[in-house]
Amino acid sequence: MPVISFANPKGGAGKTTSALLLSGELAARGASVAIIDADPERWISQWAALPGKPDKITIIGNVTEDTITDLIEEASSQHQFVIIDCEGTASLMVANAIGMSDFVIIPTQGASMDAKGASKTIKLIRNQARMARREIPFAVLLTRVSAAVTSRSLKNVREQLDQAGIDVFAVSIVERAAYRDLLDFGGLLSTLDPKQVSNIDKAIQNSMEFAAEVISRLTKIGQQGRAA
Ligand SMILES: Nc1ncnc2c1ncn2[C@@H]1O[C@H](COP(=O)(O)OP(=O)(O)OP(=O)(O)O)[C@@H](O)[C@H]1O
Ligand SMILES: [Mg+2]
């Protein structure tokens, strides 16, 4: 079953947040999801220790560069989706995760456009693909985008990526307090308390649109794989 990695060596790019949003949406639709917490900082494991983790989500922690390949293989035989939250550095563990992935999502902060982090990841993906003699599809996901008007810098970022022939998600992850609170309070967006957190409905809408785009991309990747 599809293995999806979230990778960008830049810290704070939104890997953990977007991995968690996707996992939550998939689980809410009834899918069984394994999240491989491939970050020694253990953000996902800490989230899972808070109340509210859905039963449909299984966390696989204590991952090392030696064990990650086996753990991904095992998880993909047991779950409908395997989501890998990579650490914020370039490492053998990240390379191994990418080498095992059906799709790599590169969260990149829209406003500051960490072009270096994204391009490092793209190089790594292309190298892993050459070694494995297969395509490893990937796309950049712009994150922490302002909820207000589309800024000019964001438009520039999209244009630059387009010109470089890099696939970018149509959906961006908006900067929302609800996303920050998810890691602090645990559970899913739908279980956050609207008295404590503003704009939960908008956060849910954004996260559903993101998950829908991931699913449609996976469907396309699957069709291309079968046609090849
Ligand atoms: N869309 C968002 N809206 C609000 N806060 C966000 C959003 N995305 C990320 N953050 C916050 O920014 C911080 C970094 O995000 P996150 O942990 O997802 O990044 P990361 O790429 O996983 O970082 P690291 O490389 O350290 O693992 C966190 O405190 C998170 O709550
Ligand atoms: Mg992280």
pLDDT score recorded for residue 4? 98
Single-letter residue type at 205: Q
Q: Who contacts 46 (Cβ-Cβ below 8 Å, separation ≥6)?
A: 183
pLDDT score recorded for residue 102? 97
Pocket of ligand 1 (CB under 6 A): 11-17, 39, 43, 88, 143-144, 173, 175-176, 179-180, 183
pLDDT score recorded for residue 162? 85
Average pLDDT over every residue of 76-99? 96
pLDDT band at 228 (very low <50, low <70, confident <90, very high): low
Burial grade of 191 (CB within 10 A; 0-12, 13-18, 19 or more): middle
197-222 pLDDT, tens digit per residue, is 899 999 999 999 999 999 999 999 98
Quick count: other Cβ atoms within 10 Å of Cβ 195? Answer: 6
Quick count: other Cβ atoms within 10 Å of Cβ 64? Answer: 12
pLDDT score recorded for residue 21? 98
Q: Of 137, 145, 151, 147, which Cα lies nearest the Cα of 198? A: 147
Count each helix (H run) and each strand (E run) in the chain, helices first.
8, 6
Query: In angstroms, what is the span from residue 163 Cα to ligand 2's centroid?
Result: 28
- Residue nearest ligand 1's atom 27 by CA: 88
Query: Superfamily for 3-227?
Result: P-loop containing nucleotide triphosphate hydrolases (3.40.50.300)
The answer to whether 33 and 23 are in contact (CB under 8 A) is yes
Average pLDDT over every residue of 57-65? 96
Burial grade of 183 (CB within 10 A; 0-12, 13-18, 19 or more): middle
Average pLDDT over every residue of 13-37? 97
pLDDT score recorded for residue 117? 80
Average pLDDT over every residue of 82-111? 94
Instruction: Give the residue extent of every domain in the chain.
Output: 3-227
Q: Best substitution site from 10, 17, 87 to test ligand 1's pocket, by max atoms within 8 Å of Cβ?
A: 17
pLDDT score recorded for residue 1? 85
Which ligand ends up closest to the CA of 14?
1
114-155 pLDDT, tens digit per residue, is 667 888 899 999 999 999 999 999 999 999 988 876 677 778
